[in-house]
Structure 1
Amino acid sequence: MPDVISYGGDWSPEQWPEETWKQDVALMREAGVNRVSVGIFSWSALEPVEGVFDFDWFDRVLDLLAANGIRANLATPTAAPPPWFGDAYPEALPVDADGRRLYHGSRQGFCPSSPIYRDKALRIAEQVALRYRDHPAPAMWHVHNEYGCHNARCYCDTSAAAFRAWLRSHYASLDELNDAWGTAFWSQRYTDWAQILPPRATPSFTNPGLQLDFRRFSSDALLELYIGERDLLRKLTPHVPATTNLMAGAHWDMDCWAFAAEVDVVSTDHYLIGARPEPHIDLAFAADYARSLNGGRPWLLMEHSTSAVNWQPRNLAKAPGELRRNSLSHLARGADGIMFFQWRASRAGAEKWHSAMLPHAGTDTKIWREVTALGAELAGLADVAGSTVEAGVALLVDHSSVWAQDHPAQPSSDLDPVEEAKRWHAALWRAGVTCDLAHPEGDLTGYRLVLVPALYLVSDAGAANLAEFVRRGGVALVGPYSGIVDEHDRVRLGGYPGAWRDLLGVRVEEFFPLDGPIRLVSGATGTVWSEVAHADGAEVLDAYATGEPAWTRNAWGAGAAHYLTTRLDDDALAGVLAAVRAEAGVEPAAEAPPGVEVVRRSHADGRAYLFAINHTAGDAAVTTPAGETIIVRAGDVVVVPG
């Protein structure tokens, strides 16, 4: 990415008369826009009839951008097939688990495994690339849009055949598959590959191994579509990097780690959920995830909103100053691009009530004034571009584990792995500690503390990776119901948590989900979950009134591994995290009062920037690592060297 902060949004000129285009571009320049995404939903305008292409209007769009110094994230418009596609090829439309075919009329109306869709998508992508391979406007390929947002899994016969082919590439034989899935249970043993179907609607619980592998297959099917388009674009335009906008931290149907390995730069979309009590902390989780997916390098915020969205039960507008705080929070956590959906608010269509940089009411508005002010501020922060965020803590997350725990036949439905990961991350946020997210099998070198809030499923390699991290001198904290099953969702026998029983020095004999709080000897409160555990070499740091351990510590090599057998309340969790942080030597980015977000970005040459973001209604004093005190006004953001 260039040493400038990209600023702009999705522009859909096809929705508007051509006389508005020059006005749009003039206003973009006024707002400081230097990047727009174009063509995302323009398939029906570029190919109105199958095999008949119309690029004349799009030529004028890109020429206009280039003439005004605005670069384009040029999209392949494959996320929204035109009406002719569903009409001509109904067999390529998606089918849900109940066998209902889903028809054209919204977006993402295709089966990810359909060879017909793949052929038509590659054809329009090729036409766009050939047309604009030498045009000066494109800075990046925006491949597709939000893969799997609405069609993450298809259960049609085409998908069933593709699933069986996927299984045959992952299992050497049916015997191996039957063993992995435990098909001796409920008389499910397969004797022919043709007998295997996607997990369609059944009378009772579907096989957990089948469900898990279908989730993996479905994610891989979407990834194959991306790779197909990307490889075509690389061949035709090797000088233009490619990305696709993930929904890291919000959309768990795609394996973001796998996608991140295939993009040239990670880009993501993030929207505040109004129902969350502190949505800005959820924003920080998503931003930290995006940075981690990009290996700590700067990433691109492809979409967020200037104010309200259109798809929640109550679409809350952003208060004055919130647009700026949200944007600079992403910047603080490693984004080198701040972009919105969309540039001009739509007059019609399903997203007409989604906010935009240029609202329905025009330029005499709070949103427009904040958009132009942000553009000027980002231009003044150009030196931040290219700097990185360092974190001494890693929090392990894995999509396969989330998918496995999503099976309904669990000891408790109250232990949500994603929410638990976000809760641990939030405790670090409140302490001013920056946290990376990491895959269980990823490189943990450089971290001092590794957190495992809720990793129900872990492979042998992932289990060994954490043990080796601790052996080398790291500190780990593992949450309850972690390390329970292997990569096929088979229970690790001999006592829980099977994957880390030796590492933690604890053996759990039984789970005891809770329907109310439980008090610990320390006075802390456990909720949702408890375990009957025995210290097998570990030191007991806190216990239930009955004497069984609730928090343990076990020395392992040069490091130590802590374990919680209950879901601690927020205050108690913060206390445990403070203790393990102190043991690991992890310090906050700065000393700040509650509600003030502090993050540090730095360049390799030593230049650094401290972001202090005040999410409270009162002024706050922040003490920098150099001992300097800065005052951050209520709702304000301050960026200072250091």
Structure 2
Amino acid sequence: MPGYPVLPEGLAYGGDYNPEQWPEEVWQEDVRLMREAGVTLVTVGVFNWGLIEPAEGEYDFDRLDRILDLLHTAGVRADLGTPTASPPAWFRRRYPGSRLVDADGRVVGGGSRHSFCPSSPDYAAASERLTTALASRYAGHPALAMWHVHNEYGWANQHCHCPVSADAFRAWLRDRYGEVGALNDAWGTTFWGLTYGSFDDVEPPSVAPVGLLTALRLDFLRFSVDAHLANYRRERDAVRRFSDLPVTTNLMIANSKDMDYWRWAPEVDVVANNHYLDSARRDPHIELAMAADLTRSVAGGRPWMLMEHSTGAVNWQPRNLAKRPGEMRRNSLAHVARGSDAVMFFQWRASRHGAEKFHSAMVPHGGTDTAIWRDVVALGADLRRLAGVRGARVRAEVAVVWDWEAYWALEFEWRPSVDLRFRERIEAFYEALWREHVTVDFVHPEADVTAYKLVVLPSSYILAETAAKNLHRYVEGGGHLMVSYFSGIVDEHDAIHPGPHPGALREVLGLSVEELHPLAEAATVGVEPAGVEPDGVEPGAGRTVGRTGGRAVGRIWSERVRVAGARAVRVFADGPDAGHPAVTRHDLGAGTAWYVATALDPAPDPAPGDGPDRRPGLRELLAEVLDHAHVSRPAGLPDTVEVVRRGGHLFLINHGDRPATVEGVSGTSLLDGAPVTGAATVPAGGVAVIRM
């Protein structure tokens, strides 16, 4: 695998550069301002297919030659894009069979990007031919640092329903199952008499009566991921015939449901991610941290690239709120804290035309006499001071299981409740861990998790037997597992595991579920600590006595849990399962498995009547489990302070409105050069990075 980054030193800084949108006299100003801001890397050429190939087979590289030469003269390196996300108008006209068709059977029009079928052989041939021309011309250019294939695979054309895609899907199924009987068995087509006599009988999922075969839908989503991966590999391999520089593409990890990024990670030389803050969230910086941790995890713990984020507002949210003072700096350095070796933006200069003209940029419409520009220059200086962070790794003691296939399947229709949402529980657990100052890795359910003290399984509706056995071995060997409701229910074909729920996890959890009791909209149930039961009474089966601690609230879900080796540590105080276990603990081998049978809230703030350290709910329970698993974390800090250790550097990011002091810290503050002895004070909204 080629090394990354191919830069002289430090963290990469810059963004998407689209000089073709501007007259050439602006280019000279651009490179002058790039030097002022400390920009070291820009992405070029991502959307210029129609400019460099104005007619089929006719190439005009003059403009791109001059742009790359200018960047080299200015000392700015280039991440050269293949512009294949946006085929030109002549391609659509000449190859009408390449046009995207939606699930309703409508041919998607032009005028935007990603309007092509990912299975089109005409697109495959044209994109490979263009990539080959680019790679053969620029492989040795001195400005070139790396290659950027395509742009945001699956952004608008996640799947296509045209006849070409249908044939490709059937071929994919033949490769996967070999003979149609195996497909019928896996899909359970005897239900409703939907048995197929031939692969030619299979139609991709499109507009159909409700109740479509879920295994069909799952396989079509898997096929669609493979179609995009095939396009990426084709272009990547074309580049590698001429260049040994790193090749990547910008993923949308945590913000794209349709791409299984565990499968993408081995195909890129460096994982690169786009992330945009959701300004409608109460605490959007927590979701940002989660996305950064997930990106690092997809990268296998290696340093990664923040390929795109924003200096201020984006253009596509219902209400595009500008970032508050200091927020862009906090956002950028939080990504660095969690493993990024690059801080890149979309885009360098704000566009005057097109759909994204109200998207913020490093050089905004207001020019250089703006707060955004001053913040851009200041951030460049910060990143130069943090050059020594490059290459350092983040270590985590806790892992959270994330599986894109479970994400897909959980949110099909006709589940027990419309409130079952994959990210709802993931984010609830992540927020509680973040507020406990715990750094998290994400893992695939079949990954080796033996290095972690605690593994959390919040939303694993799909769980293959191999994954369940992996987790069982982990607990028996001394690990600690925490599972949320409606996990381990079905296999990889969306077939219910034999026996009572939770199927694949019954043995490791030491329990079974007799009945599912989804709650009505806005309904809640009380949850309280289980008391000491009289001898011979099954814990949680009847009355409870001697309770201590606060009462928590559960939403969305309740269920009738029957322990079989586990014991209740919380019980339902009311609702359909009153008196029965709500949280259980099962000591198995050298480890422990915990189960949570309702949606406890993270409870970031004390409830009325609770003391300042009492937070009944998911966070209180997690603190108990973290202590049991001996997970280390700082004590006494406000839960608005983000604490991340990356190698020998401690990042402290204060998202609160008051200064915060972190005890037990000594070293050098890299952002201002001051010595730190015994404690570090971080101003409200500020950031400190201490070389320990």
Shift in alpha-carbon separation, 1:625–1:548, aligned structure 2, 3 A: farther
Shift, 1:205, TM fit: 2.1
Match of 1:585 in 2: 630
Structure 1's consecutive aligned runs of 4 or more residues displaced over 4 angstroms after TM superposition are none
**Residue-pair matches, total:** 636
Separation in 1, partners of 2:156, 2:330 = 30
- The residue matched to 1:520 in structure 2 has which SS? strand
Separation in 2, partners of 1:311, 1:85 = 28
- The residue matched to 2:396 in structure 1 has which SS? coil
Match of 1:536 in 2: 564
Separation in 1, partners of 2:635, 2:126 = 53
Separation in 2, partners of 1:58, 1:591 = 55
Match of 2:80 in 1: 74
Residues 1:554 and 2:586 aligned together: yes
User: In structure 1, which of residues 360, 365, 369 is the aligned counterpart of residue 365 of structure 2?
Assistant: 360
Shift, 1:328, TM fit: 0.4
Confirm or deny: 8 A CA contact 2:490 2:503 kept in the other structure. yes
1:325-340 paired onto structure 2 within 5 Å: 325-340=330-345
1:145-224 paired onto structure 2 within 5 Å: 145-224=151-230
Match of 2:67 in 1: 61
Match of 1:594 in 2: 639
Match of 2:376 in 1: 371
The superposition leaves residues 544-603 of structure 1 with CA deviations (integer Å, 9 ceiling, x where unpaired) of 13321111111111111111111112231101111111111111267521211110100x
Shift, 1:445, TM fit: 2.8
The superposition leaves residues 376-412 of structure 1 with CA deviations (integer Å, 9 ceiling, x where unpaired) of 1100110111111000000001111111112111000
Shift, 1:370, TM fit: 0.1
User: In structure 1, which of residues 617, 638, 642 is the aligned counterpart of residue 688 of structure 2?
Assistant: 638
Match of 1:605 in 2: none
Shift, 1:106, TM fit: 0.6
Confirm or deny: 8 A CA contact 1:590 1:622 kept in the other structure. no
Shift in alpha-carbon separation, 1:176–1:229, aligned structure 2, 3 A: same
The superposition leaves residues 45-93 of structure 1 with CA deviations (integer Å, 9 ceiling, x where unpaired) of 1111111111011001001111111111110110111111111111101
Confirm or deny: 8 A CA contact 2:665 2:679 kept in the other structure. no
Shift, 1:341, TM fit: 0.1
Confirm or deny: 8 A CA contact 2:410 2:420 kept in the other structure. no
Match of 1:621 in 2: 661
Confirm or deny: 8 A CA contact 1:589 1:625 kept in the other structure. no
Separation in 2, partners of 1:541, 1:256 = 37
Confirm or deny: 8 A CA contact 2:169 2:223 kept in the other structure. yes
The superposition leaves residues 154-213 of structure 1 with CA deviations (integer Å, 9 ceiling, x where unpaired) of 111111111111111111321111111111111211001111011010122211000111
Confirm or deny: 8 A CA contact 2:428 2:601 kept in the other structure. no
Residues 1:385 and 2:390 aligned together: yes
Listed as ranges, the gaps of 5+ residues in structure 2 are 530-550, 604-616, 667-676
Match of 2:121 in 1: 115
AA aligned to 2:256 is H
Match of 2:608 in 1: none
- The residue matched to 1:104 in structure 2 has which SS? coil
Residues 1:461 and 2:493 aligned together: no
Shift, 1:252, TM fit: 1.4
Shift in alpha-carbon separation, 1:234–1:591, aligned structure 2, 3 A: farther
Match of 2:601 in 1: 569
Separation in 2, partners of 1:73, 1:630 = 38
| Structure label with greater radius of gyration | 2
Q: CA RMSD in A?
A: 1.1
Taking structure 2 as the reference length, what is the TM-score of the superposition?
Answer: 0.91
Shift, 1:625, TM fit: 6.0
Separation in 2, partners of 1:262, 1:576 = 39
Shift in alpha-carbon separation, 1:637–1:181, aligned structure 2, 3 A: same
Confirm or deny: 8 A CA contact 1:394 1:447 kept in the other structure. yes
Shift, 1:468, TM fit: 1.2
Separation in 2, partners of 1:624, 1:168 = 61
Separation in 1, partners of 2:654, 2:377 = 21
- The residue matched to 1:236 in structure 2 has which SS? coil
Confirm or deny: 8 A CA contact 1:434 1:589 kept in the other structure. no
1:171-570 paired onto structure 2 within 5 Å: 171-237=177-243, 239-515=244-520, 516-522=523-529, 523-545=551-573, 546-570=578-602
Shift, 1:464, TM fit: 1.1
- The residue matched to 2:267 in structure 1 has which SS? coil
AA aligned to 2:631 is V
Shift in alpha-carbon separation, 1:610–1:591, aligned structure 2, 3 A: farther
The superposition leaves residues 122-146 of structure 1 with CA deviations (integer Å, 9 ceiling, x where unpaired) of 1111111011011111111111010
Shift, 1:431, TM fit: 0.8
- The residue matched to 1:570 in structure 2 has which SS? coil
AA aligned to 1:552 is T
Shift in alpha-carbon separation, 1:625–1:551, aligned structure 2, 3 A: farther
Match of 2:609 in 1: none
1:83-162 paired onto structure 2 within 5 Å: 83-162=89-168
Separation in 1, partners of 2:422, 2:625 = 21
Shift, 1:628, TM fit: 2.6
Separation in 2, partners of 1:94, 1:67 = 42
The superposition leaves residues 482-506 of structure 1 with CA deviations (integer Å, 9 ceiling, x where unpaired) of 0000010000121111011000001
